[in-house]
Copies of this chain bind each other. A is one copy, B any other.
Amino acid sequence: MANVDMLWSGWGDPERAERLPDSVTGLLRELLGVHTEQLAQPVKLAEIEPPPARPVPGALEEVVGAEHVRADAETRIRHTRGKSTPDLLRIRAGDAGGAPDAVVLPGSHDEVAAVLARCAEHRVAVVPFGGGTSVVGGLAPEAGGFAAVVALDLRRLDRLVGLDSVSRTATLQPGLRAPHAERLLNEQGYTLGHFPQSFEWASIGGFAAARSSGQASAGYGRFDEMVTGLTLATPSGTLETGRAPKSAAGPDLRQLVLGSEGAFGVITDVTVRIRPLPETRVYEGWLFPSFSEGVTAVRALAQDGPLPTVLRLSDETETMIGLARPDELGEGNAAGGCLAVCGYEGTAAEVPGRREKARAVLTSLGGVYQGEEPGESWARGRFSAPYLRDALLDVGVLAETLETAGFWSNLPRLYDAVRLTLSRELPSSVVMCHVSHVYAAGASLYFTVVTAQGERPLERWRDAKAAVSDAIIEAGGTISHHHGVGVDHRDWYAREAGPLGVAALRAVKDRLDPEGIMNPGVLIPAE
């Protein structure tokens, strides 16, 4: 898979594109009134003309070798923006505006550092590019005023640098795609345990830069919790962090790099906690009478334990549609209620006891055990929703996701605010939600919206997204639990971080990247 390029116009392996099942086309007709002819096909790749490539000053070929600087149209198009639904709508329509002038593929930390130094000298904007899976405009800088823009594709930095079996840490290069990293660790008996929906295509560097969180975060933690050290190449030099798992020597600089989204520099290695490969994996389904009862139950596990490795609760709509089980989509539970998926991974000695105790908690709080099939069905389809989105785009349906997080006591308010806003902004849409990351103090809410593309889908979505982002900030939530900020969330992030938070980050950026070449406009709002 590491050698296959992702579908330029959509998600994933071009060979795996899916047709919508009949059950879904029926649902779409019923719920959204859309017809399901293939009416919104993408243009052909060869027909797209990106804007003329400007020459890139700084002779970057001298640093990385001529074969690692590419300016052909296809390579540039493949590095244009990311994988949000608006990104796909635009690229499918042949809009490659903002394509980088060149794509540069460094082969080492030193090459990254040298490229940054030359780009700073020549005012060339740099977009760090890992898996290319950003859904928040993290790869779409605002590069006006620069001599040129290069995408710094890190795919050649794809080694497992070292594995410390005593400390249970591994040092990984940023361009390693997650399945490749996982395979390298598996070969030595370990797992990272980081499985976001983007798993099949996202990169280790991207996980760090965007503070990723995976579907098994209840058991393995968020990516930022796994990181014990990282190296950041900046235009002003190199920052190395991570002498100890935890320290009281000043603020945790790792946590300043995690989430910096390429705005300070390029992450050139990441040391992460690893764990022994689980001996046992089992997933199961539970049904709750209502979302609020389900939330109470998952909160009980998050606060008092025992915690499953995967813990996910769909609301009534998502359960009805069956989105938690993509291979049975449209055949959701007609009986109502809310489906929860609990997954247990660990040793054969440990899992049964944990599972049994969690079952007692869930049962006592109104959950009804549904057997393993709903859980295994979720596990089979866990990475396939983005493929489904492509199939929906083909038939004129817009599907997009957004997410937030908050404290348990505020979750109902946040949930209502998002649903109310979306139903007001997009009257004939289906809005689904699940809780998929739990903490002792709160949880994330992940929303999926499906609506007819209609006229001007980009503008409709832009307006709806702005309104719902307002609603999230006003209801006290964070603008992103795991997608990040990019350019899409930047204005709301400014409200979340506040003027002084923005000022602090801007000060760091000005010091590490005085020419402002690093992913300009991403993450950090103007003061």
Chain A residues near B (Cβ < 8 Å): 164, 166-169, 210-213, 222, 224, 228, 234, 236-241, 243-253, 255-261, 273, 276, 299, 303-305, 347, 350, 353, 404-410, 437, 439-444, 476-485, 489, 493, 496-501, 503-508, 510-512, 523
Contacts and interface: CB of A to CB of B under 8 A. Distances in A.
Contact of A250 (B409, B505, B510): B505
A441 B169 contact: yes
A244 B404 contact: yes
A44 B390 CA distance: 81
A240 B169 contact: no
Contacts of A253: 497, 501, 504
Contact of A255 (B237, B245, B251): B251
Contact of A484 (B248, B409, B442, B444): B248
A101 to B, nearest CB: 28
Given A239-B504, A243-B476, A508-B504, A497 B250 contact: yes
A138 to B, nearest CB: 11
Given A228-B407, A256-B256, A437 B500 contact: no
13 contacts: A168-B408, A211-B247, A212-B248, A213-B248, A237-B499, A245-B443, A247-B480, A248-B483, A249-B479, A249-B480, A249-B496, A503-B512, A507-B511
Given A238-B500, A512-B504, A249 B478 contact: yes
Given A167-B441, A409-B167, A507-B507, A500 B234 contact: yes
A275 to B, nearest CB: 8
Contacts of A353: 353
Given A250-B523, A251-B505, 7 more contacts: A167-B442, A234-B500, A239-B501, A248-B480, A249-B478, A249-B480, A253-B501
Contacts of A261: 250
A241 B164 contact: no
B222 A246 contact: yes
A256, A484, A505 pick with most chain B CB within 10 angstroms: A256
Contact of A504 (B256, B304, B439, B503): B256
Contact of A239 (B164, B498, B511): B498
B512 A249 contact: no
Contact of A489 (B236, B249, B405): B249
Nearest to A414: B244
Contact of A507 (B244, B477, B482, B508): B508
A176 to B, nearest CB: 20
A353 B244 CA distance: 31
Contacts of A478: 243-244, 247-249
Given A238-B500, A239-B500, A442 B255 contact: no
A270 to B, nearest CB: 14
Contacts of A441: 167-169, 228, 245, 273
A234, A243, A506 pick with most chain B CB within 10 angstroms: A243
